[in-house]
Amino acid sequence: MPRYTLGLFANLYPAYEGDSRGIFVKRMVDDLEREDIRVIKAVKKSTSPLAYFPFYADSLFKTLDKNIDILQAEYIPHSSIIPCLMKSKRPLILKFHGDDGLIYPFKNKFNRALIDFSLNRADHIITCSEALKRSIVSLGVEPEKITPIANGVDTTVFRPMDKEKCRNLFSLDPDATICLFAGRLHPMKGIYEIIESAKINPDVTFVFGGPGVVPDHPKNCIFLGDISPDAMPQLMNTADFLVLPSHSEGLGLVLIESLACGVPVIASNVGGCPEIVKNEHSGILVQSGDYLSLSNAVSYMNQNPDDRKIMGKHGRKDIMERYDAKKMSNLLISIHEKYM
């Protein structure tokens, strides 16, 4: 017999082996199932807006399952509408991941009304960072109703590896100083600031791993395309340091993964990033949107290899203590059991 049965609703979830969309939701499900939690899922696996029709139909069907003890919706309000309407007497947990709590509610009155409806129906709210919690509190929610639980990382998978072997896997120069970006090639992720930094630091090789339209770039930029989640630990270990100069970021899971590999990071001081990165201890925090600040940090990392190694060691230690996946999973289970 399972400890309890969770009904999970997510409008972003991997559609096939190697799909990175919503991978952290799948990893959470895997962690829960390893703890003998039964998970019944209604998930949207396509980027097409038309996929919302079967997703909502499946959500409605799953909410009628009387075996489900507790409901949890990921990404609000898109995944929470049906569970909010159909929750009955069962507890409902909402989990905010980033822009759904930082940007979406503040765009217009309609968005705010949908968010307020979900918040009012929820028994408890989970945010992936303290910064996201503060944003939800600003919407009028009592702080006691919100628990920050980060997306954890398996530190036995994301770990330091042989750099030269990892670079060979991606045909990268074993002697280059590599600055890695891993994620969507999107302006909100600071892609254009990275490109400008590459122009100012021609002796650094900038490697981009992720989907999106490749922008105009100097010759010291290499674009690898989309990377399978299974290959991400090896990609992290090709780097001397990683950059994430986002304009908005709920947490920055890629920062946790990089530091778990002992690779220091440069991140913008937005959202949950400063919660992960200890400035000048495990990485460097820079001003969002400021390519000169980013460029200076890249230059520092390039010129100070000993400091990079020390930062990487500090970073892995921090992640093992604060963001290990099993610890995050146990914290989530404790929230579930509190309401059953």
Note the pLDDT of residue 15.
Answer: 87
Q: What is the mean pLDDT of residues 253-278?
A: 96
Q: pLDDT by residue (tens digit) across 16-65?
A: 887 888 899 999 999 999 999 999 999 998 889 999 999 999 999 999 99
Handedness of CA 110, 111, 114, 120 (dihedral sign): negative
Q: At what angle do helices 305-322 and 291-303 cross, to 10 degrees?
A: 110
Domain ranges, residue 179? 163-322
158, part of any domain? no
Which residues are registered as beta bridge partners of 244? Answer: 267
75, part of any domain? yes
264, part of any domain? yes
206 in the same domain as 126 = no
294 in the same domain as 178 = yes
233 in the same domain as 179 = yes
Average pLDDT, rounded, for the chain: 95
Note the pLDDT of residue 10.
Answer: 97
CA angle 12, 9, 249 (to 5 degrees): 45
22 in the same domain as 142 = yes
316 in the same domain as 329 = no
Q: pLDDT by residue (tens digit) across 292-338?
A: 999 999 999 999 999 999 999 999 999 999 999 999 999 999 999 99
Q: At what angle do helices 291-303 and 191-200 cross, to 10 degrees?
A: 50
Residue 250: is its pLDDT beyond 90? no
Residue 1: is its pLDDT beyond 90? no
Note the pLDDT of residue 325.
Answer: 93
Longest dimension (CA), the chain: 61
119, part of any domain? yes
262 in the same domain as 170 = yes
Q: pLDDT by residue (tens digit) across 170-187?
A: 999 999 999 999 999 999
138 in the same domain as 21 = yes
Residue 46 per-residue DSSP state: -
Contact 274, 249 (CB under 8 A): no
Q: What is the mean pLDDT of residues 187-195?
A: 97
Q: Give the DSSP H/E element, type plus range, for residue 48.
A: none
82 in the same domain as 193 = no
Give the contacts of 207 (CB within 8 A, at least 6 positions apart).
170, 172, 178, 179, 180, 181, 221, 222, 224, 238, 239
Note the pLDDT of residue 311.
Answer: 98
Return d(Cα 308, Cα 313) in angstroms, integer. 9
139 in the same domain as 177 = no
Q: Which residue has the tokens 């990175």?
A: 20
Q: What is the mean pLDDT of residues 180-205?
A: 97
Note the pLDDT of residue 18.
Answer: 79
185 in the same domain as 308 = yes
Q: Look up the CATH number of the domain holding residue 69.
A: 3.40.50.2000
157, part of any domain? no
310 in the same domain as 169 = yes
Give the pLDDT band of residue 278 (cuts 50, 70, 90).
very high
244, part of any domain? yes
Contact 136, 148 (CB under 8 A): no
Residue 147: is its pLDDT beyond 90? yes
SS3 72: strand
Return d(Cα 291, Cα 230) in angstroms, integer. 31
- Other CB atoms within 10 Å distance of the CB of residue 193: 25
Tell me how many domains the chain contains. Answer: 2
Give the pLDDT band of residue 264 (cuts 50, 70, 90).
very high
257, part of any domain? yes
200 in the same domain as 283 = yes
- The predicted model scores a pTM of 0.91
